[in-house]
Amino acid sequence: MKQIPVKQKLPLFLIILFAPLLAQALADSVFNFPGKEISTIDKKYNALNDRLEKQLAKTLAHFAKQEKKIQKKLVAKDSSAIALFASSHQQYEQLQQQLKNPLKGKRVANYIPGLDSLQTASKFLQQSGILKNDKLGEVRQLSNDLQKLEGSLYSAEQIEVFIKQRKALLTSQLEKFGMTKELTSLKKQVYYYRQQIEEYKNLFHDQKKLEEKALATLRELPAFQSFMQKNSYLAQLFPSSNGAGTGDPATAIAGLQTRASVQSILQERLGATSLPSPGNTSAAAVNPLDESMQMAQQQLNTLKDKVNKLGGANSDLDMPDFKPKTQKTKTFLQRLEPGIIIQSSGSSKFLPGILDLGLSLGYKLSDKSTVGLKAAWKSGLGHPIKDIHFSSEGVNMGAFIDIKIKKSWWLSGGGEYNYLQSFKSLQELHANVKVWQQSALLGISKKVKASRRSRNVQLLYDFLWKREVPAAQPLKFRVGVGL
């Protein structure tokens, strides 16, 4: 058989004929994102939108109810105050209707990178043709739900503007008649509303693995990079002539200095040989401003966090004249604190060495108090210790409460039920109810935050230790690890 020389090129008509197929195959090999995962992302943000809409409707109704109470008290003191509430009822109704029908295409005032990335990615997937038809429907649904969610966030900002106006309007009247209680309550509602909305927006900053996987795969495509630079919301906020971020002096925003002019000034005044640029990475090693710029960036990030806590960039930064409760705006799941409990006790004349392994689930009532439930399995370690073997020697169940004393020190207490007999099945625990013994515990805890997990060391005294048969140890030392 005659072999084709390596240097011989394919005919031009074959390249033209198979180019679309090769491009499609290459795109499918680069981006192979299962429709099931697209559906999972869509369900997540659809559920988030439903939760946000319910929260906004509930908050708006609460504001309307509170304003009616204020209206009744103000009119009783000054009949002319009725003019302040002439159109408020209609405004509340309009906002409620807007919540039921979110406005699509509206952009939130604060830029949310996560939301922008997902929306731009969904547009790219619909227009690029790199997905199969059976997945396009799910991508379109995701795009619609993201637009609906941004519409809800836009409504949330409109509600914030409205309640700020109502607060400014009513404050002078409340101060005039000395209604400090109502004024403080109004300020708290406005503050906590801002915090609640920031909690929802922050969910986009904490991208989960599923979204990161999709975006990381897309970012590898040059076509998506170009699409992102031209069609993202950020590109609309800061347009450039070619979308690559270089900028054209003709289209530059008036009053802003160019990179070249800033670099020239710094070189002249500070003697820097060069500044790092996209095409000059070696200059970064000799740039004396690197360390200062990093420190400045850290300070800016810290300041940005403080600004967000006080209401965000689009809000008036009113310093609260009360101590905010940071847990008030948290969801039920965000207040939960799961953990692992480990406790050991030495062997005695009657009992082998025992290791308690358990789980706890706390609920933060506030920053200074937590209540919860726990359960542990008592494993025998053998008697004496050289004869190690594991056995089921009992069960521990109970409730606990932690109250903060100072800094990382807490007052801990609770009640427990202990099953102190060997068992082989759970039916024995239910059958021998009289065997269960009680414990009343009180002591101190030291909570330390290490990395993302918390460590909890407890020393507790059991006031009922003498009632246990055989008698247990009065002091209990426990170590807990947050999940």
pLDDT for position 414:
93
User: Which tens digit of pLDDT belongs to each residue from 318-343?
Assistant: 566 677 888 888 888 889 989 888 87
Strand pairing report for 336-345 and 475-482: antiparallel
Closest CA to 309 of 329, 334, 285, 294: 329
Residues with Cβ < 8 Å from 341, sequence gap 6 or more? 356, 357, 358, 359, 360, 374, 376, 478, 479, 480
**Which residues, listed in sequence order, are joined to residue 364 by a DSSP beta bridge?**
370
**Whether 378 contacts 394, CB under 8 Å:** yes
Q: What is the DSSP string of 203-232?
A: HHHS--HHHHHHHHHHHT-HHHHHHHHHHS
Give the whole-angstrom CA distance, residue 378 versus residue 390: 10
Q: Where are the alpha helices (DSSP H) in 220-324?
A: 222-231, 233-237, 259-270, 290-309
N- to C-terminal Cα distance for the chain? 68
Helix or strand (DSSP H, E) at 357: strand 354-366
Q: Which pTM value belongs to this model?
A: 0.63
Residues with Cβ < 8 Å from 209, sequence gap 6 or more? none
- Listed by start position, the domains of the chain span 27-235, 335-482
Whether omega before 384 lies within 30 degrees of 0, making that bond cis, reads yes
pLDDT for position 6:
42
Strand (E) positions, 280-353? 336-345
pLDDT for position 133:
73
Give the whole-angstrom CA distance, residue 98 versus residue 154: 10
**Which residues, listed in sequence order, are joined to residue 399 by a DSSP beta bridge?**
373, 415
- Asked if CATH classification 2.40.160.20 holds for the domain at 335-482, the reply, yes or no, is yes
Rama region for 202: left / alpha / beta (φ>0; ψ in -120 to 50; rest): alpha
* Count of CB atoms situated within 10 Å of the CB of 432: 12
Q: Which residues of the chain have pLDDT under 50?
A: 1-10, 13-15, 17-19, 21-31, 241, 243-251, 272-279, 281-286, 313-315
**Which residues, listed in sequence order, are joined to residue 480 by a DSSP beta bridge?**
341, 456
Cα 79 to the center of its chain, rounded Å: 47
Q: What is the DSSP string of 364-420?
A: EEETTEEEEEEEEEEEE--SSTTS---EEEEEEEEEEEEEEEETTEEEEEEEEEEE-
